[in-house]
């Protein structure tokens, strides 16, 4: 079976106040289907079914706090930060943690083994995770989110 590509979507609380994150994380934790749309900058690679990981940047705690699947191919829309446009993807979360109350997969854990091959400090969403790293990332992520 061919593994679907995986991509990083980034969030920095210093750039975007995600006020409904606690409510959304609670709904995902209770097994509810939570859909969202997210900017993938100028990426034209993300397709429906691709694996997505949410990476918190900026202020601590930094690290992975969510995952899901793309429910659409990338599409163009108005830039969320002002004039111009950017690309977006719709997604459905399978795990969404609230970094203010939940333990996330810390940035330091992403520096070990195969995971160290990824440039985790990217400021842009839509970066593809190398295929040879995805299985290790899935195992590491599953060990954190197993009890959820």
Q: What is the pLDDT of residues 32-42, one digit of tens each?
A: 999 999 999 88
Q: Are 102 and 147 in contact (CB under 8 A)?
A: no
pLDDT, greater one: 145 or 135: 135
Q: Which helix (H) or strand (E) holds 78?
A: strand 75-78
Count the residues in the chain. Answer: 148
Class of CATH domain 6-143: alpha beta
Average pLDDT over residues 119-147: 88
- Residue 32's Cβ-count burial label (10 Å; 0-12, 13-18, 19+) is exposed
Q: Mean pLDDT across the stretch 50-58?
A: 96
For residue 1, what pLDDT is reported?
47
Is 70 exposed, middle or buried (CB count within 10 Å of its CB: 0-12, 13-18, 19+)? buried
Residue 146 has what pLDDT?
65
- Cα separation, 121 vs 88, in Å, equals 20
What residue segments make up the domains of the chain, in order of their start? Answer: 6-143
Percent of the chain scoring above 90 in pLDDT: 77
Task: Please choose, from the candidates 70, 17, 81, 13, the residue with its C-alpha nearest in 3D space to the C-alpha of residue 43.
Answer: 70
Exposure string over 38-55, b if 16+ CB within 10 A, otherwise e: bbbbebeebeeebbbbbb
How confident is the prediction for the chain on average, in pLDDT?
A: 92
């Amino acid at each position: 079976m061919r593994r679907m590509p995986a991509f990083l979507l980034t969030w920095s609380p210093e750039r975007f106040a995600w006020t409904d994150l606690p409510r959304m994380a609670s709904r995902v934790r209770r097994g509810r289907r939570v859909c969202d749309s997210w900017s993938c900058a100028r990426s034209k690679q993300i397709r429906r079914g691709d694996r997505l990981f949410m990476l918190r940047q900026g202020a601590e705690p930094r690290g992975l706090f969510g995952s899901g699947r793309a429910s659409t191919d990338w599409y163009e829309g108005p830039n969320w930060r002002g004039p111009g446009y950017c690309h977006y993807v719709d997604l459905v979360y399978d795990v969404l943690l609230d970094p203010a109350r939940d333990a996330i997969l810390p940035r330091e854990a992403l520096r070990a083994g195969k995971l160290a091959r990824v440039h985790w400090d990217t400021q842009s969403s839509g970066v593809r995770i190398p295929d040879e790293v995805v299985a290790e990332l899935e195992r590491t992520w599953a060990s954190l989110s197993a009890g959820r």
